[in-house]
Structure 1
């Protein structure tokens, strides 16, 4: 066969035609892809069931705590009733008995507050769900201008998922004639930055010690908490500067 000068020549290769082998390879690839999809589905299903079981166990634990607290509250109420009845019979009741009554009533109030707190976590009102700022306590210490703080941030929901977000904690007051706002991380060595990280399912306690600078007179505490994610929520709350003594 004559060749054209300068043109590139290609070698032809003859291969056998195997349609059955090609079809078998395609079937095997489809089976492997189906197995991978099924494995992914069952792995995700197992993970979801595990998380649901953890949430149910945590809910049952909280219900048991509410039941125990309710029983203790009723027992203390009965003790108070018995002591009051004895006091009415004997008008010369001792100071020790009256102090015991006061102590028991304080314990009842604390237990009822805990019961209300746990019940609110498990069955909140329809218009009061999601991220919520709870109680704040500022407690004096033996060291001048040094205080303990205890704050509860909670999630009110009927189906609790892990909530993430951050909290800003600022002390507002006056230094001379000027109003001044000081973030918590400048007052407490236990806080690293302005945004305090939040991550919890039911509630999170934020506590530590803060020291006020000389010349600064506090007036209130301003809090702002924000959750992240698709159901983002921002809540703000202000507390007057009220110190509980030890």
Structure 2
């Protein structure tokens, strides 16, 4: 074979063709790299855990502690719910007891007034006789400004006869800075006239409901009772407005 002048000649060598060997070398290289990565990961985890790798027993212990902590949290939540409910029940019970006490006091006061009233009927004093006005009852109900009332007109005598007459009731107060007098029939739908008819032998209750006008400040109730007949009488009495607004 002729050679070209000026060109360096290389010797040629024939080697067998083995493609599987290259694949084996590549696999070994990847295996070495993978082992190096895994070793670096576990080494870093070992350092982060203080040189102690968690064991299977440690995992069980941590799982048990987690379950116990969750159970304790549920228990505390239930205790808080129970305490909250107990507080609400105690408050409701306290309100009920308070309402019962107020109601019992009102009943006692009403009974004492009735006892005094019947004593006056059965055993009148020497200086008292004829037509008389007893105590009144005025109690707030429902919405603000609405009241239940009861007036007692009685006959004080040792020998009771049927008494006829009438009763006038006026509410005295202030509205817009001026004194105002309002008859009962303008405040109550239970009566349609200023004169309330009376007819009784021992006593008569005059009762119903009234509603105060807006802006009206009540001060007193003035009652005037008159009996008819030959021995007619006129009795007047003023009562302070002591009713409280509903709570």
Q: Would you call these one fold, judging by a TM-score over 0.5?
A: yes
In structure 1, how many angstroms separate the alpha carbons of the residues matched to 2:164 and 2:217?
33
Q: How many angstroms apart in 2 are the aligned matches of 1:174 and 1:109?
A: 29
Distance 1:111 1:184 in 2: 26
Is 1:235 the counterpart of 2:235 in the alignment? yes
Query: Which deviations, in whole Å up to 9, do the C-alpha atoms of 1:24-64 show, x marking residues without a partner?
Result: xxxxxxxxxxxxxxxxxxxxxxxxxxxxxxxxxxxxxxxxx
Give per-residue Cα distances to partners, 1:125-178, cap 9 Å, x unaligned: 111111100011111112121111111111000000000000100001111121
How far does residue 118 in structure 1 lie from its aligned partner after superposition? 1.3
Question: In the alignment, is the contact (CA less than 8 A) between 1:137 and 1:244 conserved in 2?
Answer: no
Helix, strand or coil: the match of 2:125? coil
Provide the C-alpha distance between the structure 2 equivalents of 1:122 and 1:209, rounded to a whole number of angstroms: 30
Runs of at least 5 residues in structure 1 that lack an aligned partner in the other structure: 1-98
> Helix, strand or coil: the match of 2:167?
strand
CA distance in structure 2 between the aligned counterparts of 1:103 and 1:189, rounded to whole angstroms: 27
Q: Secondary structure at the match of 1:208?
A: strand
Q: How far apart in 1 are the matches of 2:169 and 2:222?
A: 6
Larger Rg: 2
Q: Distance in 2 between matches of 1:148 and 1:105?
A: 17
> Is the alpha carbon distance of 1:240 and 1:159 closer, same or farther for their aligned partners in structure 2, counting shifts above 3 Å?
same
- Do the aligned partners of 1:121 and 1:202 also contact (CA within 8 Å) in 2? yes
Does the aligned pair in 2 maintain the 1:138–1:244 contact within 8 Å? no
User: Contact 2:222/2:236 (CA < 8 Å) preserved in 1?
Assistant: yes
SS at match of 1:242: coil
Q: RMSD over aligned Cα, in angstroms?
A: 2.7
1:115-126 map, 5 Å: 115-126=115-126
Cα distance change of structure 1 residues 187 and 109 upon mapping to structure 2, 3 Å threshold: closer
Instruction: For residue 114 of structure 2, give the secondary structure of its aligned residue in structure 1.
Output: helix
Q: Secondary structure at the match of 1:243?
A: coil
Distance 1:208 1:233, change over 3 A: same
List aligned pairs for 1:8-157, cutoff 5 A: 110-157=110-157
Residues 217-246 of structure 1: CA distance to partner in whole angstroms, max 9, x if unpaired? 111111100000011110000011111567
- State whether residues 113 and 135 of structure 2, in contact with CA within 8 Å, keep that contact through their aligned partners in structure 1: no
Task: Give distance in 2, aligned partners of 1:210 and 1:106.
Answer: 20
Aligned-pair CA distance for 1:107: 6.5
Q: Tell me the secondary structure at the aligned position of residue 198 of structure 2.
A: strand
- Report how many aligned residue pairs link the two structures: 150
Q: TM-score, with normalisation over the residues of structure 2? A: 0.55
Q: CA offsets per residue over residues 83-131 of structure 1, 9 Å max, x none? A: xxxxxxxxxxxxxxxx999998886665444333212112201111111
